[in-house]
Amino acid sequence: MRNAYSKLGTDFPTTEQIEKELKREQYRISFRRVLRSTIGILITVAAVAILVAVLLLPVLQIYGKSMNPTLEEGDIVVTVKGSEFQTGDVIAFYYNNKILVKRVIANPGDWVDLDEEGTVYVNNVKIEEPYLQEKAYGETNIKLPYQVPESKIFVMGDNRDYSVDSRNTAVGCVAEEQIVGKIIFRVWPLKAFGQIGIETAKN
């Protein structure tokens, strides 16, 4: 039999060759397993990131001039969900199928008043507004002093002469269910990258 195989030119693989081939096959199987696991992890991480972005940290792009100079058209910001807001916080909220961005001035039950120059008083106390470039009475048609209704927030844009906000019945106060979240961070443009707060304003 040995001579017959030799005449046909058939050589059996050596033990060493078999071991090498087994190791190569094991490596391929192991590599595929690791690759599938890695892809699975990446897909899971991406899905979680998308859920967080949509549900907890919505990303928004600013349109319009009502929040100048703090925020300008084209800025991209990150918001965080929440239900408690302080005077000076910047929030995003739904209005007529759009998302508006304004600054919190007063909370439910507070009394809001403005003088002719646009100085704002909450509960008879003048509020400090370092984020403003200039004050303005603006588009105000509510009867002052004005008490903020329950479960609502009184908001104003930083560009007081341009912004239509809670000073006008066209927009009014913001209900809790309208609120998208508090704007905490600007991510674009890079030169303005940073936290958004009471002191924040572009120069």
Q: Which residues contact 43 (CB under 8 A, 6 or more apart)?
A: none
Where in the sequence numbering do the catalytic residues fall? 66, 102
DSSP of 100-156, one letter per residue? EEEEEEE-TT-EEEE-TT--EEETTEEPP-TT-SS----S--S-SSEEPPTTEEEEE
Domain segments of the chain as ranges: 2-56, 61-195
d(CA 146, CA 132): 22
Helix H segments across the chain? Answer: 2-8, 15-51
Residue 178 DSSP code: G
Residue 43's pLDDT is 64
Residue 7's pLDDT is 46
Closest by alpha carbon to 92, among 123, 71, 114, 113? 71
Candidate CATH numbers 2.10.109.10, 1.20.140.10, 3.40.50.150, 1.20.1560.10; the one for domain 61-195: 2.10.109.10
Residue 201's pLDDT is 42
Name the token pair of 117.
């120059």
Q: What is the pLDDT along the chain (203 residues), one digit of tens a residue?
A: 444 444 445 566 777 777 777 777 777 777 777 777 777 676 655 444 444 554 456 788 888 889 999 998 889 888 888 768 889 999 999 998 888 999 999 999 999 999 999 999 999 999 999 999 899 999 899 999 999 999 999 999 999 999 999 999 999 999 988 999 898 889 888 888 887 766 544 43
187: helix, strand or coil? strand
